[in-house]
Structure 1
Amino acid sequence: MFEIPKDKNRFAHIKTISIIIITCISLSFIALFFGKNALSSSSSNSPGSLTEVNQGPMLVTVSGYGKLVPKTQRGINTMSSGHIIEVLQQPGNVVNKGDVIIQLNNPKLQRTMETSELALLEQQSNLIQIMAESRQALDDQQGKMRLAKVRLALAQAELSAHEKLKQSQVISVLDLHKAQVAWEQDNAILQMETSRLDTLQQTRKAINNSAQYRLEKAQKQRELLVSEVEQLSIRASMDGMLTELANDLDIGRHLEEGQIVGMIADLSQYYARINITANDAEFVIPGLPAKVAIKGIDIVGNVTRVEPTVNNGSVEIDISFNGNLPSSVRPNIDVNAIIEIADHQNTLVIKRPVGVIRGHRQYSFFVLNDELEQFERRDISIGDIAGEQAQVTAGLHQGERLLLQVPNRLQDRIQFSEGELYD
Structure 2
Amino acid sequence: MLEVPETESKVKKTVVIIGVISLVALLLWGVTASLDTLANDRAQSSIVVTTEQGDVIQTVGAYGRLQARHSSSLIAEVDGVIADIVRFPGTAVEPGDTVIILENPQLQRDLEQAQLSVLEAKANLELVEAALEEQRIVLLNELEMITTEISLSQKELDTKKFLSEQGLVTQLDFLRSETNLKKSKLSHSLLQRRITALEKTEVAERNMALYKLQEADKRLELVNQDLAHLQVTAKRNGLLSNLHDDIKIGNPVTRGQVLAQVTDPDNLYAELLMSANDSQLVSSGQEVLLNIRDETVHGSVLRIFPTAENNQVRLDVKLPQKLPPIARANLDVSAKIIVAQLESVIKVKKPTDGLKQGSLNQLFVRNNDKFIKRDVQFGLVGDSNVQVLSGLDVGDEVLLTTNPELIKQSEISVDDVQDE
In structure 2, do the counterparts of structure 1 residues 328 and 367 end up closer, same or farther at CA, with 3 Å as the change threshold?
A: closer
Aligned partner (choices 28, 41, 47) of residue 38 of structure 1: 41
- 2:266–2:322 Cα contact (<8 Å) kept: no
Give 1:320's aligned amino acid.
Answer: K
Structure 1 segment 40-189 matched on structure 2, within 5 A: 57-167=55-165, 171-189=169-187
Number of residue pairs matched by the alignment: 371
CA distance in structure 1 between the partners assigned to 2:124 and 2:355 by the alignment:
86
Aligned partner (choices 212, 215, 225) of residue 213 of structure 2: 215
> What's the offset of the Cα at 1:189?
0.4
Q: Is residue 2:237 matched to residue 1:239? A: yes
Give 1:386's aligned amino acid.
Answer: G
1:261: which partner in 2? 259
Give 1:35's aligned amino acid.
Answer: L
- 1:348–1:398 Cα contact (<8 Å) kept: no
Aligned partner (choices 296, 299, 303) of residue 301 of structure 2: 303
CA distance in structure 2 between the partners assigned to 1:123 and 1:265 by the alignment:
45
Q: Give CA-to-partner distance per residue, 1:145-177, whole Å, 9 cap, x none.
A: 232223223333433444455455554432332
In structure 2, do the counterparts of structure 1 residues 326 and 374 end up closer, same or farther at CA, with 3 Å as the change threshold?
A: closer
> What's the offset of the Cα at 1:319?
1.7
DSSP-derived class of the 1:307 partner: strand
CA distance in structure 1 between the partners assigned to 2:379 and 2:181 by the alignment:
115
In structure 2, do the counterparts of structure 1 residues 55 and 91 end up closer, same or farther at CA, with 3 Å as the change threshold?
A: closer
DSSP-derived class of the 2:307 partner: coil
- 1:300–1:323 Cα contact (<8 Å) kept: no
2:404: which partner in 1? none
Give 1:111's aligned amino acid.
Answer: R
Compute the TM-score of the two structures, normalised by the length of structure 1.
Answer: 0.71
Identity of aligned residues (%): 27
CA distance in structure 1 between the partners assigned to 2:39 and 2:288 by the alignment:
39
Structure 1 segment 11-30 matched on structure 2, within 5 A: none
In structure 2, do the counterparts of structure 1 residues 374 and 34 end up closer, same or farther at CA, with 3 Å as the change threshold?
A: closer
> What's the offset of the Cα at 1:185?
0.6
Q: Is residue 2:354 matched to residue 1:387? A: no
CA distance in structure 1 between the partners assigned to 2:133 and 2:45 by the alignment:
108
Give 2:317's aligned amino acid.
Answer: I
In structure 2, do the counterparts of structure 1 residues 218 and 278 end up closer, same or farther at CA, with 3 Å as the change threshold?
A: same
DSSP-derived class of the 2:206 partner: helix
- 1:55–1:398 Cα contact (<8 Å) kept: no
1:330: which partner in 2? 328
- 1:286–1:305 Cα contact (<8 Å) kept: yes
CA distance in structure 2 between the partners assigned to 1:348 and 1:72 by the alignment:
45
Q: Is residue 2:171 matched to residue 1:193? A: no
In structure 2, do the counterparts of structure 1 residues 289 and 158 end up closer, same or farther at CA, with 3 Å as the change threshold?
A: farther
- 1:56–1:349 Cα contact (<8 Å) kept: yes
> What's the offset of the Cα at 1:205?
1.9
> What's the offset of the Cα at 1:65?
2.4
CA distance in structure 2 between the partners assigned to 1:283 and 1:257 by the alignment:
47
DSSP-derived class of the 1:310 partner: strand
In structure 2, do the counterparts of structure 1 residues 32 and 128 end up closer, same or farther at CA, with 3 Å as the change threshold?
A: same
DSSP-derived class of the 2:337 partner: strand
CA distance in structure 1 between the partners assigned to 2:304 and 2:267 by the alignment:
20
2:250: which partner in 1? 252
Bigger mean CA offset, 333-342 vs 105-114: 333-342
DSSP-derived class of the 2:282 partner: coil
CA root-mean-square deviation = 4.3
In structure 2, do the counterparts of structure 1 residues 290 and 113 end up closer, same or farther at CA, with 3 Å as the change threshold?
A: same
DSSP-derived class of the 1:197 partner: helix
CA distance in structure 1 between the partners assigned to 2:249 and 2:361 by the alignment:
75
Structure 1 segment 317-356 matched on structure 2, within 5 A: 317-345=315-343
> What's the offset of the Cα at 1:355?
8.7
- 2:290–2:336 Cα contact (<8 Å) kept: yes
DSSP-derived class of the 1:331 partner: coil
> What's the offset of the Cα at 1:234?
2.3
CA distance in structure 1 between the partners assigned to 2:356 and 2:137 by the alignment:
98
CA distance in structure 2 between the partners assigned to 1:90 and 1:198 by the alignment:
67
- 1:303–1:320 Cα contact (<8 Å) kept: yes
Q: Give CA-to-partner distance per residue, 1:369-411, whole Å, 9 cap, x none.
A: xxxx9999xxx9x98643255679xxx86669xxx99xxxxxx
Q: Is residue 2:203 matched to residue 1:205? A: yes
CA distance in structure 2 between the partners assigned to 1:144 and 1:92 by the alignment:
79
DSSP-derived class of the 2:64 partner: strand
Give 1:272's aligned amino acid.
Answer: A
Give 1:387's aligned amino acid.
Answer: D
> What's the offset of the Cα at 1:206?
1.5
> What's the offset of the Cα at 1:193?
0.6
DSSP-derived class of the 1:309 partner: strand
> What's the offset of the Cα at 1:214?
1.2
DSSP-derived class of the 2:191 partner: helix
Compute the TM-score of the two structures, normalised by the length of structure 2.
Answer: 0.72
DSSP-derived class of the 2:308 partner: coil
CA distance in structure 2 between the partners assigned to 1:366 and 1:330 by the alignment:
47
DSSP-derived class of the 2:277 partner: helix
Bigger mean CA offset, 162-171 vs 281-290: 162-171
1:273: which partner in 2? 271
- 1:302–1:319 Cα contact (<8 Å) kept: yes
> What's the offset of the Cα at 1:188?
0.8
Give 1:208's aligned amino acid.
Answer: R
